[in-house]
Structure 1
Amino acid sequence: MRVLLVEDDTSAMRGISLMLRRSAMVVDTADTGEEAGELLRHYDYDVVVLDLMLPDMSGYDVVRQMRANRNETPVLILSGLSRTQARVDGLSAGADDFLCKPFDADELVARLQAIVRRARGFSQPTLSVGALTLDLSSHEVRVGTNPVPLTGKEYAILELLTLRKGTVLTKEVFLNHLYGGLDEPEVKIIDVFICKLRKKLAQAGARDLIGTVWGRGYLLKDPASPLRLSPRAAEAPMMGAAA
Structure 2
Amino acid sequence: MRYLIAETNWDVMSLAQELVANGTLLTRTDRPEDLLHYAKIGHADLILIAADQMDKRTVSMDRLHAASPASPVVLVTNAVSPDAMSGFLAAGADAVVDCSASVEEVLARLQAIARRGHGLGRPVLQYGPLRLDLMHRRAHLGEVRLKLTPKVYELLEFIALRPGRLVTRENLLTHIYGLENEPDPRVFDVYMCNLRAQLSASGGAVDIETARGAGFRFVAADMGTGGIAA
Q: Same fold (TM over 0.5)?
A: yes
Q: Tell me, yes or no, if the aligned pair for 2:35 and 2:64 is still in contact at 8 Å.
A: no
SS of equivalent to 2:167: coil
Correspondence 1:62 to 2:56:
no
Aligned residue number for residue 157 of structure 1: 155
In the TM superposition, what are the counterparts of 1:60-209 in structure 2 within 5 Å?
Answer: 62-68=60-66, 71-80=69-78, 82-206=80-204, 209=207
| Structure 1 segments unaligned to the other structure (5+ residues) | 227-243
Residues 198 and 58 (structure 1), Cα distance of their counterparts in 2 relative to 1, 3 Å cut = same
Aligned residue number for residue 7 of structure 1: 7
Aligned residue number for residue 28 of structure 2: 29
Q: Tell me, yes or no, if the aligned pair for 1:147 and 1:204 is still in contact at 8 Å.
A: no
Which ranges of 4 or more aligned residues in structure 1 deviate by more than 6 Å? Answer: none
Q: Tell me, yes or no, if the aligned pair for 2:50 and 2:75 is still in contact at 8 Å.
A: yes
1:81 Cα deviation after fit:
5.4
| Greater displacement, 168-177 / 16-25 | 168-177
CA distance in 2 between counterparts of 1:117 and 1:96 reads 13
SS of equivalent to 1:5: strand
Residues 153 and 68 (structure 1), Cα distance of their counterparts in 2 relative to 1, 3 Å cut = closer
CA distance in 2 between counterparts of 1:102 and 1:50 reads 15
| Greater displacement, 201-210 / 136-145 | 201-210
1:114 Cα deviation after fit:
1.2
- The one-letter code matched in structure 2 to 1:105 is V
| Structure 2 segments unaligned to the other structure (5+ residues) | 225-230
CA distance in 1 between counterparts of 2:49 and 2:31 reads 10
Which structure would you say has the larger RCO, counting Cα contacts within 8 Å and 6 or more residues apart? 2
1:67 Cα deviation after fit:
2.9
Aligned residue number for residue 16 of structure 2: 17
| Greater displacement, 93-102 / 36-45 | 93-102
CA distance in 1 between counterparts of 2:47 and 2:35 reads 9
Q: Could you list the per-position Cα deviations for residues 30-63 of structure 1 after superposition, in whole angstroms to 9, with x for gaps in the alignment?
A: 3344211111111111111121112x71699632
SS of equivalent to 2:185: coil
Aligned residue number for residue 228 of structure 2: none
Q: Could you list the per-position Cα deviations for residues 93-141 of structure 1 after superposition, in whole angstroms to 9, with x for gaps in the alignment?
A: 3322211132322222211221122111222221122331111122221
CA distance in 2 between counterparts of 1:153 and 1:33 reads 27
When normalised by structure 1's length, the TM-score is 0.81
1:70 Cα deviation after fit:
6.3
CA distance in 2 between counterparts of 1:88 and 1:197 reads 45
1:201 Cα deviation after fit:
1.3
SS of equivalent to 1:221: strand
Q: Tell me, yes or no, if the aligned pair for 2:131 and 2:139 is still in contact at 8 Å.
A: yes
When normalised by structure 2's length, the TM-score is 0.86
CA distance in 2 between counterparts of 1:26 and 1:125 reads 17
Q: Tell me, yes or no, if the aligned pair for 1:128 and 1:134 is still in contact at 8 Å.
A: yes
Residues 116 and 223 (structure 1), Cα distance of their counterparts in 2 relative to 1, 3 Å cut = farther
Residues 222 and 87 (structure 1), Cα distance of their counterparts in 2 relative to 1, 3 Å cut = farther
Count of residue pairs the alignment pairs up = 224
**Alpha carbon RMSD of aligned pairs, Å?**
2.5
Aligned residue number for residue 227 of structure 2: none
